[in-house]
């Protein structure tokens, strides 16, 4: 497929993505304003009089008609001006940037570990299909997938944090080494849950591919196993594995929120939850925009990876793709 066709495909997808992002942000905006209560109650506290509450609402323009409030938000967002948090008065962008120092390593390290471990162990299990090792690996995977992330997290903290004292039990640390120590157990908790699905998909797909003629032929020809795995097996299992990794990355966003709240980590997820409770509209809008854009980009990246991985997709005539 020509570079022009790929570019056209990407452009169409980005356009669709923009529509999705706009729709989600409008819906989120509507829901926040429909929820009972409001940021003025969080700002002013329990003893505030109705006058005080109304004064705060006026100062934030919260009683303006919703469409005009939303239009105002869009205009500012287009300039990357997301305003200040109503609760903490920090610029929203700064608050998110700070929290990313916790969430980004948490999600990305877990993701990398899940992909590497899941693919490796899944391939291993497929090769040894039916053996004790295979059953053991699948068993561990199912256990990991069945236990909720926060339950796994608590057990990990209890064993490694309290009993053994190897890792800290709460907080997110200061400085690189300390941060790594504090995130170790949360990363393990998330990885345990994600590895399961990656392992099972890889195992199933690789097992299928191993039955194919071309693999049998390559093995019969005496090609090294590593070459067979790399070129024949994984390449063909690739699409499903890449799709699964996209799904896992998105699931990590939700799982990450749970783990952050359980471990008391000051990440983007915890910020989001707190903002919803406080009805902190600028933060809610900004974080949900971030998540939406992330989801859309991950999906686009997965689709583009198909082109890279599978020549059959590349070879299809441009008109055949929707």
Partner 1 sequence: MGESTGSTGWTTRKRFLATAAAASATILIAACGGSSRSGATNTDSGGSPAAGRGIDSLTVIVPVMSDALDPTKASVGSLGTLLLGLEPLLLYGPDQELKPNLAESFEQQDATTYRVKLRDGVQFWDGSPLTVDDVLASIAVHRTKGTASFIAGQWADVQSVRKTARNELTIRLSRPNPQFVYALAQTGIFSKAYAKKHGDRLGSPGVLNMGTGPYRFESFTPSSKAVLVRNDDYWGEPSRVARIETRVIADDSNRLLALQSGDVDAIIGIPISQIKTFSKIPGFEVSDAVDYSVYKFNFELDKKPWDDVHLRRAFAHSVDREALARGILNGAAPATTLVPPSIMEALVPEDQVAAAYEELRAALPAFDLERAKTELAQSGAPDGVKTTLLVAGSDPNLSALAQTVAQSAKQIGIDMRIQQVDDNTYYNAVYFKHTTDGLSIDNYGSDGPDPVNIPNNALGSATALPGGSGINIANFRSGDVDDLLARSARLKADDPARGPLIIDALKRSSAELPYVPIAYPKLYMGLKNGYTYSGFNTFWWLNRWPDLIAGAG
Instruction: Using CB under 8 A, pick the residue from 37, 61, 67, 148 that binds partner 1.
Output: 37
How many residues make contact with partner 1 (CB under 8 A)? 71
Place of tokens 């452009």: 11
Site residues (CB under 8 A) for partner 1, limited to 111-170: 112, 116, 154, 157-158, 161-162, 165, 168-170
**How is residue 124 written in tokens?**
């291993």
Q: Does 65 bind partner 1 (CB under 8 A)?
A: no
Closest separation in Å from C-beta 53 to partner 1: 7
Is the Cβ–Cβ distance between 202 and 241 less than 8 Å? Answer: yes
How far are the Cα atoms of 22, 241, 320 from residue 188, in angstroms, in the given order?
A: 35, 21, 43
Closest separation in Å from C-beta 29 to partner 1: 17
Long-range contacts of 59-66 (CB under 8 A, 24+ apart): 60/86, 60/281, 62/38, 66/29, 66/30, 66/33
Site residues (CB under 8 A) for partner 1, limited to 88-107: 88-90, 94, 97-98, 100-102, 104-105
Task: Please choose, from the candidates 107, 292, 77, the residue with its C-alpha nearest in 3D space to the C-alpha of residue 193.
Answer: 107
Question: Closest CB to partner 1 among 32 and 201?
Answer: 32
Instruction: Using CB under 8 A, pick the residue from 277, 297, 301, 316 that binds partner 1.
Output: 277
Q: Does 56 bind partner 1 (CB under 8 A)?
A: yes
Residue 316: phi, psi to the nearest 5?
A: -65, 140
Residue 307: phi, psi to the nearest 5?
A: -60, -45
Site residues (CB under 8 A) for partner 1, limited to 194-253: 222-224, 226-227, 230-231
Question: Closest CB to partner 1 among 123 and 197?
Answer: 123
Closest separation in Å from C-beta 160 to partner 1: 10
Question: Closest CB to partner 1 among 108 and 318?
Answer: 108
Closest separation in Å from C-beta 218 to partner 1: 11
Question: Closest CB to partner 1 among 247 and 261?
Answer: 261
Which one of the spans 129-137, 274-282, 289-297, 306-314 is the region binding partner 1 (CB under 8 A)? 274-282
Instruction: Using CB under 8 A, pick the residue from 196, 278, 284, 286 that binds partner 1.
Output: 278
Question: Closest CB to partner 1 among 9 and 118?
Answer: 118
The alpha helices in 60-175, defined as continuous H runs, are 66-78, 92-127, 132-146, 149-156
Beta-carbon contacts of residue 132 (< 8 Å; ≥ 6 apart): none
Which one of the spans 37-45, 194-202, 285-293, 314-322 is the region binding partner 1 (CB under 8 A)? 37-45
**Length of the chain measured in residues:** 322
**How is residue 168 written in tokens?**
């800290």
Exposure on the CB side of residue 139, measured as CA atoms within 13 A: 7
Question: Closest CB to partner 1 among 5 and 169?
Answer: 169
Is the Cβ–Cβ distance between 288 and 31 less than 8 Å? Answer: no
**How is residue 127 written in tokens?**
């090769």
């Amino acid at each position: 497929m020509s570079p022009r066709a790929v570019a056209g495909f990407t452009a169409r997808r980005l356009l669709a993505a923009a529509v999705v992002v706009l729709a989600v942000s409008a819906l989120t905006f509507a829901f926040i304003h429909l929820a009972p209560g409001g940021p003025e109650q969080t700002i002013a506290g329990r003893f505030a009089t109705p006058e005080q509450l109304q004064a705060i609402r006026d100062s934030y323009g919260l009683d303006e008609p919703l469409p005009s409030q939303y239009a105002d938000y869009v205009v500012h967002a287009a300039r990357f001006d997301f305003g200040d948090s109503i609760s903490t008065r920090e610029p929203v962008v700064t608050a998110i940037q700070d929290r990313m120092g916790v969430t980004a390593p948490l999600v990305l390290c877990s993701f990398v570990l899940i992909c590497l471990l899941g693919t490796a162990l899944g391939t291993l299990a497929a090769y040894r299909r039916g053996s004790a090792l295979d059953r053991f690996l699948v068993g561990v995977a199912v256990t990991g997938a069945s236990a909720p992330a926060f339950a796994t997290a608590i057990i990990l903290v209890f064993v490694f944090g309290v009993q053994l004292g190897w890792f800290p039990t709460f907080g997110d640390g200061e400085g690189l080494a300390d941060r790594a120590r504090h995130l170790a157990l949360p990363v393990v908790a998330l990885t345990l849950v994600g590895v399961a699905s990656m392992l099972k998909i890889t195992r199933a797909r690789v097992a299928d591919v191993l039955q194919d003629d071309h693999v049998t032929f390559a093995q019969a020809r005496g090609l090294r196993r590593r070459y067979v795995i790399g070129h024949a097996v994984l390449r063909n299992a690739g699409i499903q594995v890449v799709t699964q990794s996209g799904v896992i990355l998105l699931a990590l966003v939700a799982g990450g929120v749970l783990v952050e709240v359980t471990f008391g980590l000051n990440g983007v997820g915890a910020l989001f939850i707190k903002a919803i409770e406080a009805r902190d509209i600028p933060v809610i809008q900004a974080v949900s925009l971030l998540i939406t854009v992330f989801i859309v980009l991950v999906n686009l990246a997965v689709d583009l990876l198909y082109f890279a991985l599978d020549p059959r997709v590349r070879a299809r005539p441009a008109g055949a793709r929707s």
